Amino acid sequence: MSFSGTVKEELAAQISSARHCQMAELAALLQFGGGTCEGGRHLCLETENEAVAKKCFTLFKKTFNIDNVVTEPKVRLFPEEASEKKVLQALHLQEEAGGPVVLHGTVNSLLIKNSCCERAYLRGAFLSAGSMSDPEKSYHMEYVCSGRAQALQLQAVIRNFEIEARIVKRKKYDVVYLKEGTAIVDLLNIMGAHVSLMNLENLRIVKEMRNSVNRRVNCETANISKTVTAASKQIEDILLIRDKYGFDNLPDNLRQMAEVRLQYPDAALKELGGYLDPPVGKSGVNHRLRRLSEISDGIRS
């Protein structure tokens, strides 16, 4: 099963204890994933996810005490008119009695006025319209919304928890998405997917450690390469001075520096300073090598 599917299974098992939260989640499930049939007059469920269908059935039973719900995709949910009428009124899915069912829009603000209801709303929206990429490859969570108003409402609710979400147009849909690992972890926590959160955190730790090791290795490799290149240039300069100018013509401190560098071609500057008599620091060694380089440049010119 994909990571996204695992998250949905965990969220489907989360049942809020408060009725107002159950209604908020149910409203989100229907607005993002519900459908209509028989000319738009009745509710149906448009999902192939068994966990989502089961969640709808459970919420209808707990919230409205309705047992006779059909959870097959694109089939009328409520065989009895009275049951459907009660749901449509409570979830504000009908603008007027007997009118068409209004779906794929925003959830009525009265249903998500509390923070706990916003959490339930985000959970229902993800179950119906959300997905996640494999976190081992990349960090990406998104909700596919049917319209701009729906996307803006979802973005606003996510931002209420101080999480940044963006909207992008994809064909006829508006997609609300998050690409930061930390933001996705926070949103999973808000929705109640705590097991998935821990699994994602473990993957993030492993990835960060791997990236840290790679950066350190690359940095050390670059430093070694830089040191080797500098040492090769220094030795080239010293050999030129020896062959074209002669060490006897150098001041004692530069002659000693030239001889020590030839004797220890792989040594670092600090180490070279310890071989001199008397020893000098790294800056002193660097100064003498720079003077030798200037002399060699003069010979070449």
**Where exactly are the structural domains of the chain?**
3-202, 226-300
The predicted structure's pLDDT at residue 18? 94
Alpha helices in the chain (DSSP H): 3-12, 19-33, 50-64, 81-90, 115-129, 148-159, 181-191, 194-244, 252-263, 269-275, 282-300
Alpha helices in 245-281 (DSSP H): 252-263, 269-275
The predicted structure's pLDDT at residue 72? 66
Just give the CATH number of 3-202: 3.10.28.10
Average pLDDT of each block of 10 consecutive residues along the chain (301 residues)? 89 92 95 84 79 86 84 71 88 81 90 95 95 88 95 96 95 93 93 90 79 80 79 88 87 89 86 87 89 88 80
The predicted structure's pLDDT at residue 130? 94
For 197, the token pair is 């959160």
Query: How far, in Å, CA of 269 to CA of 220, rounded?
Result: 16
Query: How far, in Å, CA of 112 to CA of 117, rounded?
Result: 5
